[in-house]
Amino acid sequence: MSAPLFQRQMRDLERVESRVLAALRFIDAATEAAISTPLQLESLDGRANFIRNQRGMVVLDHWSGLSAHRDAFEAPPALPAVGSLTLRVAVTDPAGAYLPRIVSLALPRDPTLVDPDPASSLFEAVRVPMYPTSAAATGANWSLLRVSLAEDGSGDALGGALLRVRRNGDVIARGMTDWRGEGLVAVVGVPVMTFGDDEEAVVVEAINVSLEVVFDPDSGSRLSADSLRDRRLPPPQVLVDPVAMEAAAAELPHSARSLSIAARRTQSVAMTLQLP
């Protein structure tokens, strides 16, 4: 039988194959909405290449620590073991809406297809919350805490501190302080009116929470009042890993303060922290 009239012979002129190592999905820490504006990523551990895809995620397609994985398309190398290496990535926002931070990626990710652990799966994007600057836009019904943090005694501003708001033991919002020791914590979803904790207060407009601060002296910044006033000095870039800080919160300098918050209310809170 002769070949069909319109059949064409195809051949590969060039084939490009590469293995994706991880994907990052950056979200707003307050609303958990995906961040659509471009962010800058820089590897702190060797050479790495990041690509922003059409879905708004950032894909890691090469890292010098996993060079053998780049050309292993059909199956990843057996070594190193899953999650045995760490790539630290510095993330900054050119628009200035979010504070810079460090993301620690456990690599390689798990390529298992059957019942994978979402926390380590290659096929699940790593969710990375970004914390707003004190000048970031906010919602009309949010409860806002504008926090200033200083070292007790000297009054030095403490930058890179983790801020947590707890209600009944659960963390309901997080934030960070900038190099000036100022931070914004946006609590989204506080009802305008709710049932009170006191049996005599059936309906209340405010809820009781605890504001916690955690500071790592090794990674955070500490600036005197004179340095803050000296505009000739460039502001230092504060890069901390909030996930690592939260994991070590019990061993790091920390303090807490009880507050009452409500929807549509903004409070200024000054806190101090004793450092060793």
Last residue of a domain, one of 98, 130, 162: 130
Domain boundary among 130, 151, 173: 130
Please check whether residue 46 lies inside any domain of the structure. yes
pLDDT for 276 equals 86
What average pLDDT score do residues 6-21 get? 63
Within this chain, do residues 166 and 264 fall inside the same structural domain, yes or no?
A: yes
Q: Please indicate, yes or no, whether residues 89 and 152 belong to a single structural domain of this protein.
A: no
Give the max Cα distance, the chain.
Answer: 94
| More confident call, 67 vs 257 | 257
Alpha-carbon distance of 162 to 131, in angstroms, equals: 10
Same domain, 125 and 173: no
Q: Per-residue pLDDT tens for 155-209?
A: 999 999 999 999 999 999 999 999 999 999 999 988 765 555 555 555 557 889 9
101 falls within a domain: yes
- Whether 7 has a pLDDT exceeding 70, the answer reads no
* Residue 1 domain-assigned (yes or no): no
pLDDT for res 12 = 57
Which residues sit opposite 86 in a β-bridge? Answer: 106
94 and 61 co-located in one domain = yes
- pTM of the complete model: 0.85
- Given a cut of 90, whether residue 255 has pLDDT beyond it is yes
Q: Are residues 100 and 160 in the same domain?
A: no
**Which pLDDT score is estimated for 237?**
83
pLDDT in tens, 62-104: 999 988 777 666 667 778 888 899 999 999 999 999 999 999 9
Instruction: Clarify whether residues 165 and 257 are in a common domain.
Output: yes
Using one digit for the tens of pLDDT, what is the confidence trace for 209-252?
A: 999 999 999 999 999 988 887 766 667 789 999 999 999 999 99
Whether residue 181 sits in one domain with residue 120: no
- Number of Cβ atoms within 10 Å of the Cβ of 232: 4
Query: Are 163 and 246 part of one and the same domain?
Result: yes
Q: What is the pLDDT of residue 2?
A: 53
Neighbours of 182 (CB within 10 A): 17
pLDDT digits (tens, 9 = 90+) for 93-143: 999 999 999 999 999 998 888 888 888 898 899 999 999 999 999 998 899
CATH number of the structural domain spanning residue 236: 2.60.40.10
Q: Which residues lie across from 1 on neighbouring strands? A: none
Predicted local confidence at residue 200, as pLDDT: 56
Domain boundary among 81, 105, 130: 130
Which segments within the chain are labelled E, that is strand?
22-28, 40-43, 48-52, 58-63, 85-92, 101-107, 126-130, 143-151, 157-159, 162-167, 170-176, 182-187, 194-195, 203-204, 206-214, 221-223, 254-262, 266-273
Give residue 206's domain range.
143-273
Split into its structural domains, the chain has a count of 2
Please check whether residues 108 and 33 belong to one and the same domain. yes
**Are 27 and 100 part of one and the same domain?**
yes
195 plus 112 within the same structural domain: no
Q: Is residue 12 part of a domain?
A: no
| 68 shares a domain with 40 | yes
Asked if 126 and 25 touch (Cβ cutoff 8 Å), the reply is yes
